[in-house]
Chain A
Amino acid sequence: MTSNLYLDYNPTISTLPLADLEVGKHFYWEIFGYSLHGQVFIVSWLVIGLILSASVLATITLNQVPRNNWQNIMEIVVEYVQGIAKNQMGSNFGEWVPFVGTLFLFILISNWLGALVPWKLIHLPEGELAAPTNDINTTISLALATSITYFYAGLKKKGFSYFKKYFQPTPVLLPINILEDFTKPLSLSFRLFGNILADELTVSVLTLLVPILIPLPIMILGLFASSIQALIFATLAAAYIGESVEGHH
């Protein structure tokens, strides 16, 4: 039995032109000898552009009493995001609102963009455009950014005594405490990736069986689930940061 890692065993099942089921096909860009998943970058840039333009539109004419509709909408968004951070960190949450809010908005907008925009109509040489979060590389990078941030937060607040938390209840738990630092990003990234991919696969399989009307309830469930996933990712990131700032004293 030969074992080649990640061979391109990519079955494409197809009945109708709009209902192909493709997993593991990517639109590769070759840059400096690295292959990048182009479709992820294109949609990510679109998401970043959307968030940036909404923010610019909101802040272009700032008023004490908002006269600009965008300012109204974005104030609601900012207050919601502040609520997420405040619930998990208590006081002095302000410093981490930008990070948590960026995570929440990026994940939410990419999930919904992947579900709401009919990407099938845009043809790529290979693969298709979809939510950036259904690529494991995106979710792992988001999770690692969270890890780095909570280490930074703890070290900045407490200096090297931050590492005392590894001995916290008793030194016997040292291995488990170290292991926790690895399981946190693992579970964060797999949860998001698996949920989004599962949503898209369920919809694709149902579309393969019955192309109209039947997949709609599952699509709506997917929209709901993906917004909850964005909320969970942001909440957990805030909780991890809050935990390393507060400590178990």
Chain B
Amino acid sequence: MADSIVSAASVIAAGIAVGLAAIGPGIGQGNAAGQAVEGIARQPEAEDKIRGTLLLSLAFMEALTIYGLVVALSLIFANPFSS
């Protein structure tokens, strides 16, 4: 009985972890991409440099979601509380 409650709580928590962790980086990536497009529109000759920097910073933001994903995965596959 206790185990099924733990499983249910873990699954819900895993879903919430990824969902919440996706909000902030989503907003941030949108902002960054928008600004990059603006920058390219203003200075098309700087496109290569802007693209490189954009990809690097997008990957940094992506990492924040990935932290949520790691928590979710460890809740599902390596749950410390399931017996």
Contacts and interface: CB of A to CB of B under 8 A. Distances in A.
Given A197-B73, A228-B59, A232-B56, A6 B80 contact: yes
A3 B67 CA distance: 23
Interface in A182-219: 187, 190-191, 193-195, 197-198, 201
Given A1-B2, A197-B73, A229-B59, A190 B81 contact: no
B16 interface: no
Interface string B40-83: 00000000000000011001101100110110010001111111
A1 B73 contact: no
A187 B63 contact: yes
A9 B70 contact: no
Number of contact residues on A: which range applies?
20 to 34
A176 interface: no
Interface residues of B, number: 20
B69 A7 contact: no
B44 to A, nearest CB: 23
A190 B67 contact: yes
B25 to A, nearest CB: 12
B59 A194 contact: no
B67 A194 contact: yes
A142 to B, nearest CB: 15
B20 interface: no
A231 B55 CA distance: 11
Q: Could you tell me the dominant secondary structure of chain A's interface residues?
A: helix
Contact of A9 (B56, B62, B67, B77): B77
Contact of B80 (A3, A193, A225, A228): A3
Contacts of B82: 7, 9
Given A1-B2, A23-B77, A7 B70 contact: no
A126 B38 CA distance: 52
A23 B73 contact: yes
Contacts of A228: 55-56, 59
A9 B6 contact: no
Contacts of A9: 77-79, 82
Contacts of A6: 78, 80
Interface string A12-27: 0000000000011000
A198 B69 CA distance: 8
Interface in B1-53: 2, 6
Contacts of B69: 194, 198
A3 B3 CA distance: 11
B37 to A, nearest CB: 19
Contact of B63 (A1, A194, A201, A235): A194
Nearest to B63: A191
Interface of A: 1-7, 9-11, 23-24, 187, 190-191, 193-195, 197-198, 201, 225, 228-229, 231-232, 235
Q: Would you list the 6 A-B pairs with minimal beta carbon distance, nearest first?
A: A194-B66, A191-B63, A23-B77, A2-B83, A194-B70, A24-B77
